[in-house]
Structure 1
């Protein structure tokens, strides 16, 4: 069985500025991998390459065994919609929509004919937010906003979930709530990649990698 996501000898440069060099990486179904490293070290760039939002300068990307080097922008967008979903550091919700509507919004365009509303409600209930369905973002806490953002990503039924600092700026209790919601995705076979400075969150991943001087190296998970 092929890896969900595979990077082979990935490099990324801007002129003479080398961001990534000789990066090898593989993500399997139902596993969570944490990527740690200092700020400005290229972690978000690496996550963007994994998410097909940026092209590497060199190397190969494979999604579920498919080499995508020759894909045009249309095929790339289709592949992204089929396999990938994102949880960003900021929730990026629409202030005029309720929590339920924010969760459903992207799926309206992708999952025509499916009972999106019932599935969205089930996710929000799973994340302890059934009492906040009709509240708007400005009426919600930071932890609630992050969980809504995660529910929105999972409603798209991705194979690969990419999260960029999902617990940043949260107090320990809220951070643990968000971490548990995020890691639960493994139970349905989703492969999860988490870029984080949160030591506690990283320790709960199946594998940890450190990005240092543009290269990615495994870290022993204590």
Structure 2
């Protein structure tokens, strides 16, 4: 069985400025990796390449054994919709839509013909928000907004869930809630990648890494 996601000697440079250098790693279904590192060290660039939003300067990326470096922008977009979903530091919800509508919105375009509304309701119930289906974002707490954002990502049934600084600026209790929601996605077979400054969150991943001087180094937890 092929790896869900595999990087082979990936590097990224802007002119003479090397951001990533000779990175190798694999991601399997039902596992979570976390990547820590200082600000400006290339974590966002790494996540953007992983999410097929940027291209590497050199190296090879495979998704379930399929090489993607030769694909055009249309086929890459299709691959993103098929495999990937994103959770950002801020919820990025649409203020004019209800919680339920925000969760359903991306799925309408990708999962046509499926019972999207009922599945969205089921996810919101799972996250304790069945009593907030028809509330607008401005009527909800920060924690509720974040859970809606995660439900929106999970409704797409991604094989790979990418999270960018999901606990930044959150109080400890909410940060732990966010961490557990993210890691729970493994139970549905998703591979989870979390870019974070939160060493506590990173320690809960199956494999934490540190991005240092453009190189990805495994972290051995004591």
1:186 partnered with 2:186? yes
CA RMSD of aligned residues (A): 0.8
Offset of 1:135 from its aligned partner? 1.0
Task: Kindly indicate whether the alpha-carbon contact (under 8 Å) linking 1:143 and 1:175 is maintained by their aligned counterparts in 2.
Answer: no
1:91 partnered with 2:87? no
Match of residue 82 from structure 1: 82
Match of residue 144 from structure 2: 144
Task: State the 4+ residue runs in structure 1 displaced beyond 6 angstroms.
Answer: none
In the alignment, the residues of structure 1 paired with residue 25 and residue 89 of structure 2 have an alpha-carbon distance, to the nearest angstrom, of 22
Match of residue 36 from structure 1: 36
Unaligned runs of 5+ in 2: none
Unaligned runs of 5+ in 1: none
Offset of 1:8 from its aligned partner? 0.8
Task: Kindly indicate whether the alpha-carbon contact (under 8 Å) linking 1:22 and 1:215 is maintained by their aligned counterparts in 2.
Answer: yes
Offset of 1:221 from its aligned partner? 2.4
Match of residue 132 from structure 1: 132
Count of residues in correspondence between the two structures: 222
In the alignment, the residues of structure 1 paired with residue 197 and residue 148 of structure 2 have an alpha-carbon distance, to the nearest angstrom, of 21
Match of residue 8 from structure 1: 8
Match of residue 208 from structure 1: 208
In the alignment, the residues of structure 1 paired with residue 99 and residue 199 of structure 2 have an alpha-carbon distance, to the nearest angstrom, of 29
Match of residue 20 from structure 2: 20
In the alignment, the residues of structure 2 paired with residue 136 and residue 214 of structure 1 have an alpha-carbon distance, to the nearest angstrom, of 41
> Which segment drifts farther, 36-45 or 125-134?
125-134
Match of residue 55 from structure 2: 55
Match of residue 45 from structure 1: 45
1:103 partnered with 2:77? no
